[in-house]
Amino acid sequence: MKSGRKIQLIGASAIALMLAGAAQAQDTTPQSEAATGGLEEIVVTAQKRSENIQKTPAAVTAFTGNALVQSGTTDLRAVQNIVPGARFQQEGATTQVILRGVGSNLDFGAIEPTVAFNVNGIFTPREGTSQPLFDLDRIEVLPGPQGTLYGRNALGGTINISFKRPTHDLETSAVLEGGNYDLMHATVVQNVPLGEGVAARAAIDFTKRDGYMESGAYSKDDIAARLGLLFDRTEGFTAYLWGQYTKRDGSPSNLVNKGFDPVTGQFSKDAFLRDRPWDDLRVGAFADPSALPFGQPIAEKQKYNLYNFGAQFDLEVADGVTLTYVPGYFHLDSNSSYWLGVIPDYKEDNYRLITQELRLSGNSDRLNWLAGLYAYTQKTYGYSFVGKASGPFGFIASGVLHHRVKGIAAFGQATYDLNDAWRLTAGGRLSYDKRKGSGISPDVGNPLFTFEKSFKRFDYKIGTEFDVSPTAMVYLTYQTAYQPGTFNEAPSTPTFSNLINSPKLSSITGGFKSRFLDNTLQINVEGFYYKYNDLLLQAYDASKPYNQVFNAKAETYGVQIDTVFQPTPDDRLSASLGYLHARNKEFAVPGLAAFEGLSLPYAADWTINVAYHHDFHLSNGYIRPAVDARYESTYFADFVHTPGTNQKPTWRENASITYFADTNKWSAGLWIKNITNKAVIAATAAAGIPGPATAYLEEPRTYGARVTFNF
């Protein structure tokens, strides 16, 4: 298809979808914190500077910490329910992050995510995405390649988490929840002023519940503690230091069989072995010893100890010029046992990551700019074993015993105002990365392998924005991103190189952001086209001990429309409609031509998010009933569309009713999630007995009560 034709299709889709109506996820901020004269202004830092989200030339989705609490969002996996075109799905201790079809579903020790997850501006590795979300200031989701400002691993976009900083007020707050599966959840926060220009903030989050699965697996017993310190005594200088410890116990989720109908004895793509899909035990003919080589699945154990620390120092060196330094440290030891259907599995990951970013930023009447340096060193160990050494069989699935990747980068970006309405943006990033690894290959004979290679890359961004009116802006942006290449877990030979080329993505995005009807109606539209070179894929063949990871080409285009309508201070309707055409185009290994043109993993063509709430006023407060729903069309978990790895089109609905005191000191309410108890697959692979697939599942129907305090 010619590029002009593609752009025409994107534009036509945008018009068609806008006529269909659409929107953004619900903002559940209590009324006392929301604007009463129309839609509130939301400030984001997606471009590493504070700016109105309606003036940011990108489809940023942002939520305040209070909105996340009232929607019951306590981890990244729940965020996908309120973000357009996103899949944030569980895979053991990992959360697979996929934006607009771009993401990695490979969790080997040498494979890194393709969407950057940042905590207080500090990159966080893959297993860190499952840490709990509590006492947050905001979360921002920015789709599309972000190679200029965020560097490696931002091919598909970025997710930015910001904790609430200490303030100079004495404050105590808490969130208490209880629900089915014996859920107990509590967050307690204490903010303390420690003198002139010094404050501290401490928070503890605890979650415990029974397992969703019949064996008792998929349970939680987690605790996290955080301490933050703020120093702003000296004019023009601010220091924010923080540290967090997270410990996760409980039992990991087991995978259930998918794609085999026990009644007919035939493969059936949507079938589970049990009427309740979360039942991971085997009965009847499937309990025959020949079908249970290791016995019945049980609730296994996990170890997850995460220490992450960071800081941000801001110094005003001149009028309108600020020097910022952001150091970070990430330390994780994680291992877990779980069942792939009726086969036990063990996985271990260990991370040591040091990051440093130094940037200088400034602004004048017409120019906003920043320039910076970035450096990191990451050491990892990744190992997994399928089966048991004492069982009928067992094999290494991944054996990266030593892995180090380090790099430096110089970057900059500037926006120049040509006049009061027209702006130009340009930026670039020069990166140097070096990867070194060794380990035990899963291939026949388990030979040792080594790898060492350096990578260089220049990514850039060019964009323009134009204010059509004081409340409407159009924009057009071209930008690129890359990820340093990696290796297959096999030794290189004269006829085989274990090098996997660097994934690269370039994009064209264009859209408009607007508000109408006296600031009560917001309509944002973005069309996009992505060219994806050297995408990492893996074709699974159960007859082979090791399945090679290889490069491929893909093409993605689509449109996203976000709309919010607040006709009165008491009513708010929001919705999002996304169309995504994400298809693989060409493979670097022979024999896969039959799969060209199929959709990428977890890339639903259509997604819809809708939400509504209304406030009923009482003498001393108000009651807010709220409902929201998410629709995804069918998608597959692998690029060859193996039967059983598909998810049928699904609506999932949530509801809540909450009483807010007028003083904003407390609230109480009831909530229910996944009302119709839909079974939706998360990480899924072509494997299992009888197969053809095994799948993690998202949460079943849950319900409970929530109380919040703020004194």
Q: Which residues pair with 406 in a beta bridge?
A: 377, 434
Distance in angstroms (rounded) separating the CA atoms of residues 559 and 85: 10
Nearest Cα neighbor of 487 from 401, 601, 586 is 401
**E strands, 75-182, in order:** 86-91, 94-99, 102-103, 116-119, 122-123, 136-143, 157-163, 171-179
pLDDT (average), residues 567-582: 96
Structure confidence at residue 392 as a pLDDT band (50, 70, 90): low
- Whether residue 206 contacts residue 222, with contact meaning beta carbons closer than 8 Å, is answered with yes
Structure confidence at residue 14 as a pLDDT band (50, 70, 90): very low
Q: How many angstroms separate the Cα of 4 from the Cα of each of 8, 11, 18, 415, 507?
A: 6, 11, 21, 28, 15
Structure confidence at residue 390 as a pLDDT band (50, 70, 90): low
- Whether residue 400 contacts residue 108, with contact meaning beta carbons closer than 8 Å, is answered with yes
pLDDT: which is higher, 522 or 31 = 522
Distance in angstroms (rounded) separating the CA atoms of residues 581 and 599: 8
pLDDT (average), residues 281-296: 90
What are the extents of the domains in the chain?
Answer: 3-710
- Whether residue 122 contacts residue 131, with contact meaning beta carbons closer than 8 Å, is answered with no
Strand 621-632 relative to strand 616-617: parallel, antiparallel, unpaired?
antiparallel
pLDDT: which is higher, 568 or 106 = 568
pLDDT (average), residues 15-25: 36
How confident is the model over 314-337, as pLDDT tens digits? 999 999 999 999 999 999 999 999
How confident is the model over 181-197, as pLDDT tens digits? 999 999 999 999 999 99
Nearest Cα neighbor of 115 from 141, 136, 83, 79 is 141
pLDDT at residue number 226: 98
Q: How many angstroms separate the Cα of 495 from the Cα of each of 83, 315, 442?
A: 45, 55, 19
Structure confidence at residue 704 as a pLDDT band (50, 70, 90): very high
The conformation of residue 15, written as its DSSP 8-state character, comes to H
pLDDT at residue number 583: 96
How confident is the model over 143-162, as pLDDT tens digits? 999 999 999 889 999 999 99
pLDDT at residue number 289: 85
In the three-class reduction of DSSP (H, G, I as helix; E, B as strand; rest coil), residue 700 is classed as coil
Of 288-292, 326-330, 656-660, 683-687, give the lowest mean pLDDT range. Answer: 288-292
How confident is the model over 51-64, as pLDDT tens digits? 999 999 999 999 88
Read off the amino acid at residue 180.
N
**What does 419-433 look like in DSSP terms, one character per residue?**
SSSEEEEEEEEEEEE
How confident is the model over 459-508, as pLDDT tens digits? 999 999 999 999 999 999 999 999 999 999 999 999 999 999 999 999 99
pLDDT: which is higher, 368 or 46 = 368
pLDDT at residue number 108: 86
The conformation of residue 73, written as its DSSP 8-state character, comes to -
- Whether residue 696 contacts residue 683, with contact meaning beta carbons closer than 8 Å, is answered with yes
pLDDT at residue number 13: 41
Distance in angstroms (rounded) separating the CA atoms of residues 121 and 646: 35
Distance in angstroms (rounded) separating the CA atoms of residues 335 and 332: 10
What's the burial of 469, exposed, middle or buried (CB within 10 Å: 0-12/13-18/19+)?
exposed
User: Over 60: is that where the pLDDT of 19 sits?
Assistant: no
Distance in angstroms (rounded) separating the CA atoms of residues 207 and 130: 13
Distance between the two ends of the chain, CA-based, in angstroms?
Answer: 61
Structure confidence at residue 32 as a pLDDT band (50, 70, 90): very low
Q: Assign domain 3-710 to its CATH superfamily.
A: TonB-dependent receptor, beta-barrel domain (2.40.170.20)
Nearest Cα neighbor of 297 from 280, 284, 311, 310 is 280
Distance in angstroms (rounded) separating the CA atoms of residues 244 and 241: 11
How confident is the model over 632-668, as pLDDT tens digits? 999 999 999 998 999 999 999 999 999 999 998 999 9
Q: Which residues pair with 316 in a beta bridge?
A: 322
Which residue is associated with the tokens 């899949």?
Answer: 87
In the three-class reduction of DSSP (H, G, I as helix; E, B as strand; rest coil), residue 331 is classed as strand
Q: How many CB atoms lie within 10 A of CB 503?
A: 26
How confident is the model over 528-562, as pLDDT tens digits? 999 999 999 987 676 677 888 999 999 999 999 99
Structure confidence at residue 590 as a pLDDT band (50, 70, 90): confident
User: Over 50: is that where the pLDDT of 28 sits?
Assistant: no
Q: What predicted TM-score, i.e. pTM, was given to this entire model?
A: 0.92
Kindly tell me the sign of the dihedral angle through the C-alpha atoms of 559, 144, 133, 218. Answer: positive
Read off the amino acid at residue 574.
S
Distance in angstroms (rounded) separating the CA atoms of residues 359 and 312: 11
- Whether residue 541 contacts residue 503, with contact meaning beta carbons closer than 8 Å, is answered with no
Ramachandran bin of 691, using left for φ above 0, alpha for ψ from -120 to 50, beta for the remaining angles: left
Q: Give me the chain's average pLDDT, please.
A: 91
H or E stretch including 459? Answer: strand 448-469
